[in-house]
Amino acid sequence: MAIRRFEEIESWQLARRFSSEIYQASMCEQFRRDFMLRDQTRRAAVSIMANIAEGFGRKGKNDFVHFLTIAQSSALEVQSHLYIALDLGYLPQTTFEKLF
């Protein structure tokens, strides 16, 4: 069965949930006040789902793979930001592990 809409892509659905979890985690007092780290982490998380959708919209396999690679890179960027949030005490270890 062919996928007709990007919303049907399981990785996009997971990225959507992940973005919401990142937004929730970054609402704690200290994290929320670190505007640069908070915004960069949120943007990178949203970029994951956006690039999956954009790549799907390109309709070419090579373009789609290119955008999936960008989405993967954004996921790694979020992971890197999570280390900073953990090191600064913005996230408890359990939240870090869940999101990582």
User: Of 70, 68, 93, 79, nearest to 22 (Cα)?
Assistant: 79
Tokens 């993967």 belong to 72
- The structural domain count of the chain equals 1
Tens of pLDDT, residue by residue over 67-98, are: 999 999 999 999 999 999 999 999 999 999 99
Say which CATH number the domain at 50 has.
Answer: 1.20.1440.60
Q: And the tokens for 22? A: 């990142």
Contact predicate 37/77, CB 8 Å: no
Tokens 């280390």 belong to 83
Residue 5's pLDDT is: 94
Tens of pLDDT, residue by residue over 7-53, are: 999 999 999 999 999 999 999 999 999 999 999 999 999 999 999 99
Tokens 């049907």 belong to 8
In a domain, 4, yes or no: no
Residue 11's pLDDT is: 97
Dihedral, 13, 52, 11, 6 alpha carbons, nearest 10: 50
In a domain, 1, yes or no: no
- Please compute the mean of the pLDDT values over residues 2-8 and round it to a whole number: 93
Instruction: Provide the residue range defining the domain that includes 28.
Output: 10-99
In a domain, 5, yes or no: no
The whole-angstrom separation of Cα 100 and Cα 42 is 14
pTM attached to this predicted model: 0.92
Residue 1's pLDDT is: 75
In a domain, 25, yes or no: yes
